[in-house]
Amino acid sequence: LEVRAFAPGRVNLIGEHTDYNDGLALPFAIAEGVTVRARANAASRRISTHALDLGEHDELALHAPAMDVRSADPSTSAAPTVSALPGVPPLGTITNTVGWRAFVRGTVAELTRAGIILPGADLEISGDLPRGAGLSSSAALEVALALALLELADARAAIDRRELARLCSRVEREWVGARTGLLDQLATLFGAADTALLIDFSDLRIEPVPLVLPHGWQMVVLDSGSRRELAASLYNERRAECARAAELLGVASLRQARLEDLARLPAPLAQRARHVLDENERVRAAASALRTGDLPAVGPLLDASHASLRDLYETSTPAVEAAVQRLREAGATGARMIGGGFGGSVLGLLPPGAQPPADAGQVKPSAGARLLARE
Ligand code: GLA
Protein backbone atom coordinates (compact mmCIF):
# COMPACT_ATOMS: atom_id res chain seq x y z
CA LEU A 1 0.00 0.00 0.00
CA GLU A 2 1.24 3.46 -0.87
CA VAL A 3 -0.42 6.73 0.09
CA ARG A 4 0.26 10.41 -0.42
CA ALA A 5 -0.95 13.12 1.93
CA PHE A 6 -0.67 16.89 1.62
CA ALA A 7 -0.97 19.62 4.25
CA PRO A 8 -0.76 23.32 3.37
CA GLY A 9 0.94 26.16 5.17
CA ARG A 10 -1.15 29.02 6.50
CA VAL A 11 -1.32 32.76 6.63
CA ASN A 12 -3.02 34.35 9.60
CA LEU A 13 -5.02 37.31 8.32
CA ILE A 14 -5.40 38.64 11.84
CA GLY A 15 -5.55 37.38 15.46
CA GLU A 16 -1.95 36.92 16.59
CA HIS A 17 -0.97 35.45 19.95
CA THR A 18 -4.62 34.94 20.75
CA ASP A 19 -4.86 31.16 20.29
CA TYR A 20 -3.23 30.20 23.59
CA ASN A 21 -5.36 32.84 25.31
CA ASP A 22 -8.69 31.23 24.36
CA GLY A 23 -9.16 34.10 21.90
CA LEU A 24 -10.07 34.57 18.24
CA ALA A 25 -8.11 34.34 15.01
CA LEU A 26 -8.83 34.48 11.28
CA PRO A 27 -6.29 32.35 9.37
CA PHE A 28 -6.46 30.71 5.95
CA ALA A 29 -4.64 27.79 4.36
CA ILE A 30 -2.44 28.61 1.36
CA ALA A 31 -1.69 26.60 -1.78
CA GLU A 32 1.89 25.73 -0.82
CA GLY A 33 2.57 22.92 1.62
CA VAL A 34 4.20 19.64 2.52
CA THR A 35 3.59 16.28 0.86
CA VAL A 36 4.35 12.95 2.54
CA ARG A 37 4.48 9.78 0.48
CA ALA A 38 4.27 6.66 2.62
CA ARG A 39 4.76 3.05 1.57
CA ALA A 40 3.93 0.23 3.99
CA ASN A 41 6.85 -2.05 4.67
CA ALA A 42 5.27 -4.98 6.49
CA ALA A 43 8.53 -6.82 6.96
CA SER A 44 10.02 -4.06 9.06
CA ARG A 45 9.19 -2.57 12.46
CA ARG A 46 10.86 0.65 11.49
CA ILE A 47 10.00 3.94 9.92
CA SER A 48 12.57 5.05 7.46
CA THR A 49 12.27 8.64 6.25
CA HIS A 50 13.84 10.56 3.43
CA ALA A 51 13.60 14.37 3.39
CA LEU A 52 13.87 14.98 -0.33
CA ASP A 53 14.68 18.68 -0.42
CA LEU A 54 17.36 18.35 2.25
CA GLY A 55 18.80 15.07 1.01
CA GLU A 56 18.68 13.77 4.58
CA HIS A 57 17.58 10.49 6.05
CA ASP A 58 16.34 9.17 9.38
CA GLU A 59 15.36 5.80 10.70
CA LEU A 60 13.55 4.90 13.89
CA ALA A 61 12.22 1.78 15.57
CA LEU A 62 8.45 1.83 16.05
CA HIS A 63 8.75 0.65 19.64
CA ALA A 64 11.26 3.38 20.54
CA PRO A 65 10.90 6.41 18.27
CA ALA A 66 13.00 8.62 20.54
CA MET A 67 16.10 6.51 20.15
CA ASP A 68 18.60 6.90 17.38
CA VAL A 69 18.43 3.62 15.53
CA ARG A 70 21.17 3.79 12.99
CA SER A 71 22.75 6.30 10.69
CA ALA A 72 22.03 5.53 7.11
CA ASP A 73 24.05 8.52 6.06
CA PRO A 74 26.86 10.27 7.90
CA SER A 75 24.87 13.47 8.44
CA THR A 76 22.33 11.63 10.59
CA SER A 77 24.71 11.00 13.44
CA ALA A 78 25.87 14.61 13.43
CA ALA A 79 22.33 15.97 13.50
CA PRO A 80 20.80 16.60 16.91
CA THR A 81 18.20 14.02 17.82
CA VAL A 82 15.46 14.33 20.35
CA SER A 83 16.11 12.94 23.74
CA ALA A 84 12.83 13.89 25.37
CA LEU A 85 10.52 11.00 26.07
CA PRO A 86 6.83 11.37 25.37
CA GLY A 87 5.19 12.90 28.40
CA VAL A 88 8.38 14.44 29.67
CA PRO A 89 8.31 18.22 29.29
CA PRO A 90 11.18 19.54 27.21
CA LEU A 91 13.60 22.12 28.46
CA GLY A 92 11.70 24.84 26.69
CA THR A 93 14.69 26.14 24.82
CA ILE A 94 15.10 23.28 22.38
CA THR A 95 14.12 25.18 19.28
CA ASN A 96 13.10 24.21 15.81
CA THR A 97 16.77 23.72 15.13
CA VAL A 98 16.35 20.12 16.28
CA GLY A 99 15.09 19.83 12.73
CA TRP A 100 12.63 17.72 10.86
CA ARG A 101 13.56 14.46 12.55
CA ALA A 102 11.94 15.58 15.79
CA PHE A 103 8.64 16.03 13.96
CA VAL A 104 8.74 12.54 12.44
CA ARG A 105 9.70 10.93 15.72
CA GLY A 106 7.17 12.94 17.65
CA THR A 107 4.32 12.22 15.24
CA VAL A 108 5.05 8.49 15.29
CA ALA A 109 5.25 8.52 19.09
CA GLU A 110 2.06 10.54 19.61
CA LEU A 111 0.05 8.40 17.16
CA THR A 112 1.28 5.27 18.92
CA ARG A 113 0.41 6.78 22.28
CA ALA A 114 -3.08 7.49 20.95
CA GLY A 115 -3.48 3.76 20.36
CA ILE A 116 -2.82 3.66 16.61
CA ILE A 117 -0.91 0.57 15.56
CA LEU A 118 1.45 1.76 12.84
CA PRO A 119 3.01 -0.55 10.29
CA GLY A 120 6.65 -0.29 9.30
CA ALA A 121 6.95 2.24 6.50
CA ASP A 122 9.17 4.15 4.13
CA LEU A 123 8.37 7.85 4.05
CA GLU A 124 9.37 10.60 1.67
CA ILE A 125 8.90 14.26 2.56
CA SER A 126 8.77 16.99 -0.07
CA GLY A 127 7.19 20.39 -0.37
CA ASP A 128 7.22 23.93 -1.63
CA LEU A 129 6.81 25.80 1.63
CA PRO A 130 9.79 27.82 2.84
CA ARG A 131 10.88 26.59 6.26
CA GLY A 132 11.18 28.99 9.16
CA ALA A 133 9.41 31.77 7.28
CA GLY A 134 6.42 31.87 9.59
CA LEU A 135 4.11 30.12 7.13
CA SER A 136 3.67 27.16 9.43
CA SER A 137 5.86 24.59 7.76
CA SER A 138 5.98 22.78 11.11
CA ALA A 139 2.23 22.19 11.33
CA ALA A 140 2.11 21.26 7.65
CA LEU A 141 4.79 18.64 8.23
CA GLU A 142 3.12 17.18 11.34
CA VAL A 143 -0.30 17.05 9.74
CA ALA A 144 0.89 15.57 6.42
CA LEU A 145 2.83 12.92 8.35
CA ALA A 146 -0.12 12.13 10.60
CA LEU A 147 -2.60 11.86 7.71
CA ALA A 148 -0.28 9.60 5.72
CA LEU A 149 0.47 7.34 8.69
CA LEU A 150 -3.19 7.12 9.75
CA GLU A 151 -4.13 6.10 6.22
CA LEU A 152 -1.41 3.45 6.12
CA ALA A 153 -2.68 2.11 9.43
CA ASP A 154 -6.25 2.06 8.07
CA ALA A 155 -7.18 4.30 10.96
CA ARG A 156 -8.37 7.37 9.10
CA ALA A 157 -11.55 7.66 11.15
CA ALA A 158 -9.91 6.92 14.50
CA ILE A 159 -9.05 10.54 15.26
CA ASP A 160 -11.23 13.48 14.28
CA ARG A 161 -9.60 16.62 12.93
CA ARG A 162 -9.82 18.67 16.11
CA GLU A 163 -8.28 15.82 18.06
CA LEU A 164 -5.60 15.49 15.38
CA ALA A 165 -4.80 19.20 15.75
CA ARG A 166 -4.25 18.62 19.48
CA LEU A 167 -2.11 15.57 18.82
CA CYS A 168 0.08 17.50 16.38
CA SER A 169 0.44 20.37 18.80
CA ARG A 170 1.69 17.88 21.42
CA VAL A 171 4.38 16.95 18.91
CA GLU A 172 5.57 20.56 18.96
CA ARG A 173 5.25 20.93 22.69
CA GLU A 174 6.84 17.71 23.82
CA TRP A 175 9.20 16.85 20.99
CA VAL A 176 10.22 20.17 19.53
CA GLY A 177 9.97 22.35 22.62
CA ALA A 178 7.68 25.05 21.25
CA ARG A 179 4.62 25.56 23.45
CA THR A 180 2.51 26.70 20.49
CA GLY A 181 -1.28 26.93 20.38
CA LEU A 182 -3.64 25.31 17.89
CA LEU A 183 -3.77 28.08 15.28
CA ASP A 184 -1.46 26.49 12.73
CA GLN A 185 -2.81 22.95 12.98
CA LEU A 186 -6.47 24.01 12.75
CA ALA A 187 -5.72 26.28 9.79
CA THR A 188 -4.02 23.53 7.79
CA LEU A 189 -6.63 20.89 8.74
CA PHE A 190 -9.77 22.98 8.15
CA GLY A 191 -8.67 25.37 5.39
CA ALA A 192 -10.82 25.68 2.28
CA ALA A 193 -10.59 27.53 -1.03
CA ASP A 194 -11.62 31.20 -0.93
CA THR A 195 -12.24 30.94 2.81
CA ALA A 196 -10.79 32.31 6.01
CA LEU A 197 -11.55 30.49 9.25
CA LEU A 198 -12.93 32.42 12.19
CA ILE A 199 -11.64 30.24 15.02
CA ASP A 200 -12.82 30.67 18.59
CA PHE A 201 -10.17 28.97 20.69
CA SER A 202 -12.36 28.89 23.79
CA ASP A 203 -14.44 26.07 22.29
CA LEU A 204 -12.65 25.43 18.96
CA ARG A 205 -15.66 26.53 16.96
CA ILE A 206 -14.72 27.31 13.38
CA GLU A 207 -16.84 29.53 11.17
CA PRO A 208 -15.97 29.85 7.48
CA VAL A 209 -15.76 33.46 6.28
CA PRO A 210 -15.63 34.01 2.50
CA LEU A 211 -12.33 35.58 1.46
CA VAL A 212 -12.41 36.35 -2.23
CA LEU A 213 -10.54 39.45 -3.26
CA PRO A 214 -12.24 41.77 -5.73
CA HIS A 215 -10.53 42.24 -9.07
CA GLY A 216 -7.06 43.78 -8.80
CA TRP A 217 -6.62 43.29 -5.05
CA GLN A 218 -3.93 40.93 -3.85
CA MET A 219 -2.45 39.52 -0.69
CA VAL A 220 1.29 38.94 -0.63
CA VAL A 221 3.82 37.67 1.90
CA LEU A 222 7.33 38.99 2.19
CA ASP A 223 9.95 37.04 4.10
CA SER A 224 11.80 39.33 6.52
CA GLY A 225 14.74 36.99 5.94
CA SER A 226 15.55 36.73 9.59
CA ARG A 227 14.59 34.53 12.46
CA ARG A 228 15.90 35.31 15.89
CA GLU A 229 17.74 32.40 17.40
CA LEU A 230 15.79 32.67 20.62
CA ALA A 231 12.43 32.91 18.83
CA ALA A 232 11.07 29.72 20.41
CA SER A 233 12.04 30.64 23.94
CA LEU A 234 10.84 34.25 23.52
CA TYR A 235 7.55 32.84 22.27
CA ASN A 236 7.32 30.61 25.33
CA GLU A 237 8.10 33.64 27.50
CA ARG A 238 5.18 35.62 26.01
CA ARG A 239 2.94 32.67 26.64
CA ALA A 240 4.05 32.48 30.26
CA GLU A 241 3.46 36.22 30.68
CA CYS A 242 -0.13 35.82 29.51
CA ALA A 243 -0.70 32.91 31.88
CA ARG A 244 0.71 34.99 34.72
CA ALA A 245 -1.49 37.97 33.80
CA ALA A 246 -4.59 35.74 33.85
CA GLU A 247 -3.55 34.32 37.18
CA LEU A 248 -3.09 37.78 38.72
CA LEU A 249 -6.51 38.80 37.42
CA GLY A 250 -8.06 35.65 38.81
CA VAL A 251 -9.43 34.43 35.47
CA ALA A 252 -8.92 31.10 33.71
CA SER A 253 -7.63 32.79 30.55
CA LEU A 254 -7.27 36.30 29.16
CA ARG A 255 -10.50 35.74 27.23
CA GLN A 256 -12.36 36.41 30.47
CA ALA A 257 -10.29 39.46 31.39
CA ARG A 258 -11.92 42.90 31.25
CA LEU A 259 -10.21 45.92 29.79
CA GLU A 260 -10.81 48.02 32.91
CA ASP A 261 -8.99 45.50 35.11
CA LEU A 262 -5.74 45.57 33.17
CA ALA A 263 -4.50 48.62 35.05
CA ARG A 264 -4.01 46.35 38.03
CA LEU A 265 -1.29 44.45 36.19
CA PRO A 266 2.40 45.33 36.37
CA ALA A 267 4.42 46.06 33.22
CA PRO A 268 4.88 44.36 30.84
CA LEU A 269 1.93 42.07 31.67
CA ALA A 270 -0.61 44.88 31.25
CA GLN A 271 0.70 45.60 27.74
CA ARG A 272 0.65 41.92 26.75
CA ALA A 273 -2.92 41.49 27.97
CA ARG A 274 -4.00 44.71 26.29
CA HIS A 275 -2.72 43.39 22.96
CA VAL A 276 -4.66 40.16 23.36
CA LEU A 277 -7.96 41.86 24.25
CA ASP A 278 -7.70 44.42 21.44
CA GLU A 279 -6.61 41.78 18.94
CA ASN A 280 -9.75 39.72 19.64
CA GLU A 281 -11.83 42.81 18.81
CA ARG A 282 -9.86 43.38 15.62
CA VAL A 283 -10.56 39.79 14.56
CA ARG A 284 -14.30 40.35 15.02
CA ALA A 285 -14.09 43.60 13.05
CA ALA A 286 -12.12 41.97 10.22
CA ALA A 287 -14.57 39.06 9.99
CA SER A 288 -17.53 41.40 9.70
CA ALA A 289 -15.72 43.57 7.17
CA LEU A 290 -15.12 40.49 5.02
CA ARG A 291 -18.73 39.39 5.40
CA THR A 292 -20.00 42.73 4.18
CA GLY A 293 -17.43 42.90 1.39
CA ASP A 294 -15.76 45.94 2.94
CA LEU A 295 -12.16 45.08 2.08
CA PRO A 296 -10.83 48.63 2.50
CA ALA A 297 -11.75 48.36 6.20
CA VAL A 298 -9.36 45.40 6.63
CA GLY A 299 -6.15 47.31 5.82
CA PRO A 300 -6.19 49.60 8.89
CA LEU A 301 -6.98 46.60 11.09
CA LEU A 302 -3.85 44.85 9.81
CA ASP A 303 -1.82 47.98 10.55
CA ALA A 304 -3.28 48.26 14.05
CA SER A 305 -2.51 44.60 14.72
CA HIS A 306 1.08 45.13 13.65
CA ALA A 307 1.52 48.25 15.77
CA SER A 308 0.19 46.37 18.78
CA LEU A 309 2.51 43.40 18.19
CA ARG A 310 5.42 45.80 17.86
CA ASP A 311 4.69 48.13 20.76
CA LEU A 312 2.68 46.12 23.29
CA TYR A 313 3.57 42.53 22.59
CA GLU A 314 7.12 43.35 21.50
CA THR A 315 7.57 40.56 18.97
CA SER A 316 8.94 42.65 16.10
CA THR A 317 12.53 42.99 14.92
CA PRO A 318 14.32 45.53 12.68
CA ALA A 319 14.14 43.09 9.75
CA VAL A 320 10.39 42.68 10.22
CA GLU A 321 9.94 46.46 10.39
CA ALA A 322 11.91 46.84 7.18
CA ALA A 323 9.69 44.28 5.43
CA VAL A 324 6.52 46.07 6.63
CA GLN A 325 7.96 49.34 5.40
CA ARG A 326 8.68 47.92 1.96
CA LEU A 327 5.10 46.70 1.62
CA ARG A 328 3.74 50.09 2.68
CA GLU A 329 5.96 51.80 0.14
CA ALA A 330 4.63 49.42 -2.49
CA GLY A 331 1.16 50.77 -1.71
CA ALA A 332 -0.22 48.20 0.75
CA THR A 333 -3.37 49.38 2.52
CA GLY A 334 -2.29 47.26 5.48
CA ALA A 335 0.72 45.16 6.46
CA ARG A 336 1.52 43.06 9.49
CA MET A 337 3.88 40.41 10.75
CA ILE A 338 2.31 36.96 10.88
CA GLY A 339 2.96 34.00 13.14
CA GLY A 340 4.97 33.79 16.31
CA GLY A 341 7.11 36.85 15.61
CA PHE A 342 10.82 37.62 16.11
CA GLY A 343 11.29 37.23 12.35
CA GLY A 344 9.34 35.33 9.73
CA SER A 345 7.00 36.75 7.11
CA VAL A 346 4.93 39.86 6.72
CA LEU A 347 1.51 39.97 5.06
CA GLY A 348 0.45 42.87 2.87
CA LEU A 349 -2.95 43.71 1.42
CA LEU A 350 -2.55 45.51 -1.88
CA PRO A 351 -5.26 47.46 -3.71
CA PRO A 352 -5.57 47.57 -7.51
CA GLY A 353 -2.60 49.24 -9.16
CA ALA A 354 -0.10 48.55 -6.34
CA GLN A 355 3.01 46.72 -7.49
CA PRO A 356 4.34 44.23 -4.89
CA PRO A 357 8.11 43.93 -4.32
CA ALA A 358 9.68 41.40 -6.68
CA ASP A 359 10.57 39.02 -3.84
CA ALA A 360 7.03 38.95 -2.39
CA GLY A 361 4.85 35.93 -3.10
CA GLN A 362 1.14 36.07 -3.72
CA VAL A 363 -1.02 34.00 -1.36
CA LYS A 364 -4.54 32.70 -1.92
CA PRO A 365 -6.93 30.97 0.50
CA SER A 366 -6.75 27.33 -0.59
CA ALA A 367 -7.94 23.84 0.30
CA GLY A 368 -6.88 22.23 3.57
CA ALA A 369 -4.98 19.04 4.36
CA ARG A 370 -6.04 15.98 2.39
CA LEU A 371 -5.17 12.58 1.07
CA LEU A 372 -3.87 12.88 -2.50
CA ALA A 373 -3.59 9.21 -3.44
CA ARG A 374 -4.00 5.68 -2.14
CA GLU A 375 -2.85 2.84 -4.34
C1 GLA B 1 2.89 30.55 16.13
C2 GLA B 1 2.22 29.44 16.91
C3 GLA B 1 0.70 29.62 16.95
C4 GLA B 1 0.31 31.03 17.37
C5 GLA B 1 1.13 32.08 16.60
C6 GLA B 1 0.91 33.46 17.13
O7 GLA B 1 2.55 30.48 14.78
O8 GLA B 1 2.52 28.18 16.34
O9 GLA B 1 0.13 28.65 17.80
O10 GLA B 1 0.44 31.19 18.75
O11 GLA B 1 2.52 31.80 16.66
O12 GLA B 1 -0.38 33.88 16.83
User: Which pLDDT does position 232 carry in this prediction?
Assistant: 81
Instruction: Find residue 39's DSSP bridge partners.
Output: 2, 122
Q: With bands split at pLDDT 50, 70 and 90, how would you rate the model's confidence at 97?
A: very low
Span of 157-166, 222-231, 331-340 with lowest mean pLDDT: 222-231
Distance CA 105, CA 342 (A): 27
Phi, psi of 108, rounded to the nearest 5 degrees: -60, -45
Stretch 40-50: mean pLDDT, rounded?
93
Residue 306 Cα to ligand 1 midpoint, Å, equals 15
pTM comes to: 0.91
Residue 280 Cα to ligand 1 midpoint, Å, equals 14
pLDDT at 212 > cutoff 70:
yes
pLDDT at 84 > cutoff 70:
no
Distance CA 171, CA 185 (A): 11
Closest CA to 290 of 349, 220, 353: 349
Stretch 107-129: mean pLDDT, rounded?
96
pLDDT at 93 > cutoff 70:
no
pLDDT at 73 > cutoff 50:
no
Output the CA angle 10-82-61, nearest 5 degrees. 100
Residue 283 half-sphere exposure toward CB, CA atoms < 13 A: 27
User: Which pLDDT does position 191 carry in this prediction?
Assistant: 98
Ligand 1 mutation pick, 17, 233, 314, 345, max ligand atoms within 8 A of CB: 17
Distance CA 136, CA 148 (A): 18
User: How many C-beta atoms lie closer than 10 Å to residue 12's C-beta?
Assistant: 28
Ligand 1 mutation pick, 18, 180, 320, max ligand atoms within 8 A of CB: 180
pLDDT tens profile 286-341 = 999 999 999 999 999 999 999 999 999 999 999 999 999 999 999 999 999 999 99
Task: Give the binding-site residues of ligand 1, using a 6 Å CB cut-off.
Answer: 16-17, 19-20, 180-181, 183-184, 339-340
Q: With bands split at pLDDT 50, 70 and 90, how would you rate the model's confidence at 65?
A: confident
Phi, psi of 37, rounded to the nearest 5 degrees: -100, 130
Percent of the chain with pLDDT over 70: 91
- In angstroms, the Cα distances linking 167 to 95, 206, 355 are 19, 18, 41
Stretch 107-119: mean pLDDT, rounded?
96
Ligand 1, atom nearest to 235 Cα: 11
Stretch 156-182: mean pLDDT, rounded?
93
User: Which pLDDT does position 30 carry in this prediction?
Assistant: 98
Span of 91-95, 221-225, 262-266 with lowest mean pLDDT: 91-95
Three-class SS string for the chain?
A: CEEEEEEEEEEECCCCCCHHHCCEECEEEEEEEEEEEEEECCCCCEEEEEECCCCEEEEEECCECCCCCCCCCHHHHHCCCCCCCCCCCCCCCCCHHHCHHHHHHHHHHHHHHCCCCCCCEEEEEEECCCCCCCCCHHHHHHHHHHHHHHHHCCCHHHCCHHHHHHHHHHHHHHHHCCCCCCHHHHHHHHCCCCEEEEEECCCCEEEEEECCCCCCCEEEEEEEEEECCCHHHHHHHHHHHHHHHHHHHCCCCHHHCCHHHHHHCCCCHHHHHHHHHHHHHHHHHHHHHHHCCCHHHHHHHHHHHHHHHHHCCCCCCHHHHHHHHHHHHCCCCEEEECCCCCEEEEEEEECCCCCCCCCCEECCCCCCCEEEEEC
pLDDT at 226 > cutoff 90:
no
Enumerate residues 6+ apart whose C-beta is below 8 A from 53. 125, 126, 127
The answer to whether residue 184 is catalytic is: yes
The single residue of 22, 184, 223, 303 carrying the catalytic annotation is 184
Distance CA 329, CA 35 (A): 36
User: Which pLDDT does position 116 carry in this prediction?
Assistant: 96
Task: Note the Cα 343 to chain centre separation in Å.
Answer: 14
> Which residue has the least CA distance to atom 2 on ligand 1?
180
> Which residue has the least CA distance to atom 7 on ligand 1?
339
pLDDT at 75 > cutoff 50:
no
Residue 178 Cα to ligand 1 midpoint, Å, equals 10
pLDDT at 74 > cutoff 60:
no
